[in-house]
Amino acid sequence: MNETDVQYWQRVLGPAYHNHVIQTLREQEEVAKTLGKGKRVRKQINYAEQEMMAAAADSAKVWQ
């Protein structure tokens, strides 16, 4: 589909095409909201590093 085809249909359909596009986008946004995909921010946890830090803190207490 080239640019002239799009312009032709926009002229033929007029505001009905524009309203259809807007309605389609709104429906897609509603579906995306209900899915909730990608909305939650997850903090990455490295348990090995936490254990090493706890062990280092314990050994620091022993030396004091």
Please state the domain extents for the chain: 1-36
Identify the weakest region by mean pLDDT among 30-34, 39-43, 52-56: 39-43
Q: pTM for this structure?
A: 0.40
Instruction: Indicate whether 14 pLDDT > 60.
Output: yes
pLDDT at 16: 85
What's the distance, CA 18 to chain centroid? 26
For residues 21, 25, 26 and 31, what is the CA-based torsion angle, rounded to 10 degrees?
140
Q: CA-based angle 5:9:14, to the nearest 5?
A: 150
| 63 membership: H or E segment, kind and range | helix 47-63
